[in-house]
Amino acid sequence: MEPWVEWTIMGGRAAVAWVIPLMLIPLLVWMERKASAYIQDRTGPNRAAILGLRFGGIIHALADVVKLIFKEDITPARARPFWYNLAPIVAMTFALLTFAALPFADVLRVGGHEIPLQALRLNPGLLWMLAIGSFGVFGIVFAGWGSNSSYPLLGGIRGSAQMISYELSLGLSVVGILMIFSTIDLNEIVRAQGKLLFGFLPMWGVVVQPVAAVIFMAAALAEANRNPFDLMEADSEIVAFHLEYSSLRFALFMMTEYVHITVASGLTVTLFFGGWQIPWLTTERLTGSAGDLALAVPALLVVLGLLVLLSLVLLAPTRRWHRTLQRLYVDARRHEAKFWTVVLLLQAIGALALGAYLFLNPPGADGLAAITAALQFVSFMVKVTFFGFAFIWVRWTLPRFRYDQLMALGWKGMLPLALANVVVTGFVLLLVGK
Amino acid sequence: MKVPSPKLTFWERIYVVEIIRGLGVTMGHLLKNLFRQSEMPTVQFPEEIKPVATRHRSRHRLTVREDGTPKCVACMCCPTACPASCIHIIAQEADAPWKEKKPRVFEIDLLRCVFCGFCVEACPEDAIRMDTGEVTIVGTRREDFIVGLDFLLHGEGNAWREGRPEEKPQPGPGEPLLPPSTPEEESGRGPRQVLRPKLPSAWETVREVKP
């Protein structure tokens, strides 16, 4: 390969790993506001509009950004400026770096070249995740110390104590996965989850290690500083560790929270829910490299068919919605449903056209590999988005733990359970004779 | 005081089952509100307006007789009863032989009004009522909220703000007064000054004597 092609691909891989968490921020913020509203029987954001298009309230994220940009950026007079300014940068940097090692599709084999579809192709990828992931708490500790204010300091201390307690359970729950798949290369772990257990069950981490999956998800919530473990941000008690921050520095902390969600759900998906695997369709079966029929094109046709079906099914509710809008509004918002009708129709036509093209011109080996990678990427993103939603869902369901309950759960509950899980897994592996 | 906490069963103590039940509850609400949006209790306010209760004390209005003249006889009962001193009446002699007075000026400062309804109770003629159902009284300056006879008799909605005089730029603190901008202002016969309610003792009843 030409060097410039190589460099472009490398830059592209890094950009994707950078862009996925950042692009998911507005989506997660929107989900948080809208899902919490519906859970609490409210309507949620539905006012901000561009040319009458409200996109279900997602424009409010844009309005928030504009507001945060134009707020005054304050450094408290008694703050420790170095730590104070470093904190948001550290928090965001390490949150984004953690995502770099996650594979978002299997290694792409095009024209005799191998392109790993993850920003950092590391053999010890899992160790990277654990190591860089625990650096995230430094942002909180620096913010607490640098603000030179009692509540943020409390938040920082709580953050560090919680991180120590839950990092242990997190690491130990992953040990079970290591013992079963005997690798710490994240892409290999995902590949191993494509095998079938008893001939029909995909060997996902959650199937072979259910206890570890529960412990890991709880600890991941704690790592992401989310409810019910948001002790460092407990609004009702200590306001937050970023109490003294305003404007874009606050925005960085805010965005870090959502990057943490993406990272936590990405890790959960990669280790326990098959990563980019589509159930029962491994890379070999999709590309047909094992010799049998390549299933990539049929799978893509099924996906496109579902897309067409969804678009057509949604046309009727859009029509009803149009009548409601006509009754309610006198401004540009009354035409919103027309826009969505056009979008749905274009989506259906586009999907049909792509399907027809693929049906008439069957792709070669390279095309099959590219389609496989695209399908796997979509599978990964669907899973990550679902678990991002699940974290939000948990937040609006559970109350916050009290500090002593948090410590009791971490040290007396999850840590012994994780250790027991390791021991039991070891015995079972010994008996199976693996 | 020691409050005994309820004894938890084993399944409650390991959290997981109860958490899944809780997640089911919240998901039920989410799905119900997602697919039954019209049943959501929220009222989309400017587009949908909930009617106020009939006994709600909203913006005042002055009632009229069958011939279209105001029922008000300028008896001064309502400004006397008003605890906020927001009603200002200047009376004049009525043209009918069977009533003594009628209002020449009847102004209510809606910003001062506390919507207590005492004026309605005090009125012997059923001339003032608070049953318009208007609760969104909007203006951009204080003068907008001083409403007069015309509006109280016939005004509907926010029509009272139409046709108001242009807002003049006000000099800031320490700046010189602005020069007069229109010939009327130059000659000292500017637009009618808004009569602001002063203390009740300073109010005067002007009786116009016919020649």
Q: Which of A30, A36, A41 to mutate to test the interface with B (most CBs of B within 10 A)?
A: A41
CA geometry: angle A113, A114, A117, nearest 5 deg: 140
Q: Write out pLDDT tens, residues B49-92.
A: 777 888 889 888 898 888 888 889 999 999 999 999 999 999 99
Whether A108 and A121 share a structural domain: yes
Q: What is the pLDDT of residue B177?
A: 62
* Residue A41 is assigned to a structural domain of this protein: no
* Residue A369 is assigned to a structural domain of this protein: yes
* Minimum CA–CA partner of B25 in chain A: A397
Region of B139 (left: φ > 0; alpha: ψ -120 to 50; beta: rest) is beta
Helix (DSSP H) and strand (DSSP E) numbers for chain A? 16, 4
**Residues A60 and A34: beta-carbon distance below 8 Å:** no
Whether A200 and A79 share a structural domain: yes
Contacts of A336 in chain B (CB under 8 A): none
Contact yes or no for B44 and A35 at CB 8 A: no
Query: What are A188's two structure tokens?
Result: 């290999």
Q: Is the pLDDT of residue A188 over 70?
A: yes
Contact yes or no for B23 and A393 at CB 8 A: yes
Q: What is the pLDDT of residue B205?
A: 41
Contacts of A329 in chain B (CB under 8 A): 47
Q: From the CA of A243, how many Å to the nearest CA of chain B?
A: 30
Q: What is the mean pLDDT of chain A?
A: 86
Question: Which of B19, B30, B47 comes nearest A38 by C-beta?
Answer: B30
Q: From the CA of A409, how many Å to the nearest CA of chain B?
A: 10
* Residue A338 is assigned to a structural domain of this protein: yes
- The CATH number for B115's domain is 3.30.70.3270
* Residue A234 is assigned to a structural domain of this protein: yes
Q: What is the pLDDT of residue A238?
A: 76
Contacts of B23 in chain A (CB under 8 A): 393-394, 397
Domain count, chain A: 2
* Minimum CA–CA partner of B27 in chain A: A39
Give the ipTM: 0.81
Whether A227 and A344 share a structural domain: no
Q: From the CA of B32, how many Å to the nearest CA of chain A?
A: 8
Contact yes or no for A398 and B22 at CB 8 A: yes
Q: Write out pLDDT tens, residues A224-250.
A: 888 788 877 777 777 778 888 888 888
Beta-carbon contacts below 8 Å between A and B: 40
* Residue B193 is assigned to a structural domain of this protein: no
Q: What is the pLDDT of residue B114?
A: 93
Looking at the DSSP bridge assignments, the partners of residue B90 are B105
Q: What is the pLDDT of residue B99?
A: 82
Q: What is the pLDDT of residue A100?
A: 84
Q: Which of A360, A381, A400 is the last residue of a domain?
A: A360
**Residues A388 and A265: beta-carbon distance below 8 Å:** yes
> What 8-state DSSP symbol labels residue A195?
S
Q: From the CA of A377, how many Å to the nearest CA of chain B?
A: 27
* Minimum CA–CA partner of A327 in chain B: B47
Q: What is the mean pLDDT of residues B188-205?
A: 43
Q: Residue A274, CB half-sphere, CA atoms under 13 Å: how many?
A: 20
CA geometry: angle A187, A190, A195, nearest 5 deg: 135
Question: Which of A43, A328, A394 comes nearest B40 by C-beta?
Answer: A43
Contact yes or no for B23 and A38 at CB 8 A: no
Q: What is the mean pLDDT of residues B183-200?
A: 48
- B140 at A interface, C-beta within 8 A: no
* Residue B12 is assigned to a structural domain of this protein: no
Q: How far is CA B186 from CA B168, B182, B190, B193, B194, in A?
A: 15, 6, 8, 15, 18
Whether A257 and A211 share a structural domain: yes
Whether A337 and A425 share a structural domain: no
Q: What is the pLDDT of residue A345?
A: 92
Q: What is the pLDDT of residue B80?
A: 93
Q: What is the pLDDT of residue B208?
A: 42
- B194 at A interface, C-beta within 8 A: no
In Å, how far from its chain's centre is CA B117? 12
Give backbone dihedrals phi and psi of A290, rounded to 5 degrees, phi first.
Answer: -80, -5
Q: Which residue range forms the structural domain that includes residue B84? A: 52-160+203-211
Q: Is the pLDDT of residue A413 over 80?
A: yes
Whether A353 and A418 share a structural domain: no
Q: Which of A360, A382, A404 is the last residue of a domain?
A: A360
Whether A221 and A345 share a structural domain: no
Whether A114 and A256 share a structural domain: yes
Q: Write out pLDDT tens, residues B94-125.
A: 888 888 888 988 889 999 999 999 999 999 98
Q: What is the pLDDT of residue B158?
A: 54
Question: Which of A39, A43, A329 comes nearest B26 by C-beta?
Answer: A39
Domain count, chain B: 1
CA geometry: angle B57, B62, B64, nearest 5 deg: 135
DSSP line for A259-282: HHHHHHHHHHHHHHS-TTPBTTB-
Contact yes or no for A328 and B48 at CB 8 A: yes
**Residues A233 and A151: beta-carbon distance below 8 Å:** no
Peptide bond into A228 cis (omega under 30): yes
Q: What is the pLDDT of residue B94?
A: 85
* Residue B14 is assigned to a structural domain of this protein: no
**Residues A79 and A68: beta-carbon distance below 8 Å:** no
Question: Which of A39, A43, A394 comes nearest B30 by C-beta?
Answer: A39
Q: What is the mean pLDDT of residues A20-32?
A: 90
Contact yes or no for B29 and A39 at CB 8 A: yes
- Chain A contacts to B (CB-CB under 8 A): 35, 38-43, 46, 214, 324, 328-329, 393-394, 396-398
Contacts of B19 in chain A (CB under 8 A): 394, 397-398
> Using CA atoms, how far apart are residues B110 and A130, in angstroms rounded to an integer?
65
Q: Is the pLDDT of residue B152 over 90?
A: no
Q: What is the mean pLDDT of residues A94-114?
A: 83
Q: What is the pLDDT of residue B198?
A: 40
> Using CA atoms, how far apart are residues B161 and B137, in angstroms rounded to an integer?
10
Contact yes or no for A42 and B30 at CB 8 A: no
> Using CA atoms, how far apart are residues A224 and A233, in angstroms rounded to an integer?
11
Whether A310 and A191 share a structural domain: no
Whether A225 and A262 share a structural domain: yes
Whether A336 and A376 share a structural domain: no
With bands split at pLDDT 50, 70 and 90, how would you rate the model's confidence at A179? Answer: confident
Q: What is the pLDDT of residue B184?
A: 58
Contacts of B5 in chain A (CB under 8 A): none
Its sign, for the CA torsion A222, A95, A264, A126, is negative
Q: Which of B5, B10, B26, B47 to mutate to test the interface with A (most CBs of A within 10 A)?
A: B26
Q: What is the pLDDT of residue B207?
A: 40
Q: Which residue range forms the structural domain that includes residue A340? A: 305-360
CA geometry: angle A233, A237, A239, nearest 5 deg: 45
CA geometry: angle A70, A73, A78, nearest 5 deg: 165
* Residue B46 is assigned to a structural domain of this protein: no
**Residues A62 and A33: beta-carbon distance below 8 Å:** no
Question: Which of B29, B30, B47 comes nearest A328 by C-beta?
Answer: B47
Q: 3-class SS at B88?
A: strand
Q: 3-class SS at B109?
A: strand
Contact yes or no for B42 and A396 at CB 8 A: no
Region of A247 (left: φ > 0; alpha: ψ -120 to 50; beta: rest) is left
Whether A96 and A151 share a structural domain: yes
Q: Which of A335, A360, A385 is the last residue of a domain?
A: A360
Q: What is the mean pLDDT of residues A349-368?
A: 84
> Using CA atoms, how far apart are residues B17 and B21, in angstroms rounded to an integer?
6
Give backbone dihedrals phi and psi of A102, rounded to 5 degrees, phi first.
Answer: -80, 130
Q: Is the pLDDT of residue B192 over 60?
A: no
* Residue B85 is assigned to a structural domain of this protein: yes
> Using CA atoms, how far apart are residues A220 and A211, in angstroms rounded to an integer?
14
* Residue B124 is assigned to a structural domain of this protein: yes
Query: What are A319's two structure tokens?
Result: 């029509």
